Amino acid sequence: MFRNMKKWYYIVAFHIVRRGVFKMKWNGKDIELYIGAKEYVDTVIIPLIGVSFKEMIRQSASTNEFTTILSQQIEQQFKGRVMLLPPLTYSNEWIMEEKIQLLLQWKETLMVENFKHIFFLTSDIDWKSIEGQLGDELLWTNSIPLEHLDEKYKQPMMDEQVKKILKVIINQWNK
């Protein structure tokens, strides 16, 4: 009976998602939906955003814009299964160990909340150097400076990035 119930839930969730009603972002409205379907939401995505007020301020802002848009588009693809949390923001001046500790604390907190898949999404090149330590949880992608692109080129480029990340997430679900 449980299997049939689960199948029924996915059918209902599919119809809700197709109408664009079911989202899982960190806001009051979506949290109500999450509470009602908590056992089906097994994945969380946390964007990692580095902030700099020094010489890298423009790059920092551009990377933030790209990562924010990318994370929202990924969440839209997996409505009903993925919770998109607010960005984990840190100073680019912090040493990497401090950033890693912050990340590991969040991972531990989310595991206690029964999330099976935890992904940290970033375009900050500094994370690439420790990718091996974090394993498949770190989703790193090149940042595209969207402020210099014509509108007609932005969405196709974002779509390509979303496809790459979707494949990684789906592979993790299938393990």
Instruction: Give tens-digit pLDDT for 53-82.
Output: 998 898 888 888 889 999 999 998 987 789
Residue numbers of the domain that contains 127:
24-173
In a domain, 16, yes or no: no
User: Which percentage of the chain shows pLDDT scores above 90?
Assistant: 46
Read off the pLDDT of residues 145-155 as tens digits, 9 standing for 90 and up. Answer: 878 778 888 88
Greater confidence, 48 or 151?
48
Residue 140: CB atoms within 10 Å: 19
Number of domains in the chain: 1
In a domain, 53, yes or no: yes
- Average the pLDDT over 136-145 and give the result: 88
In a domain, 70, yes or no: yes
In a domain, 153, yes or no: yes
- By DSSP bridging, strand 88-91 and strand 117-122 are unpaired
Per mean pLDDT, which range of 55-59, 97-101, 110-114 is the poorest? 55-59
Q: The whole model's pTM is what?
A: 0.81
H-state helical runs in 40-147: 57-77, 96-112, 125-128, 131-134
Residue 23 has a pLDDT of 54
In a domain, 161, yes or no: yes
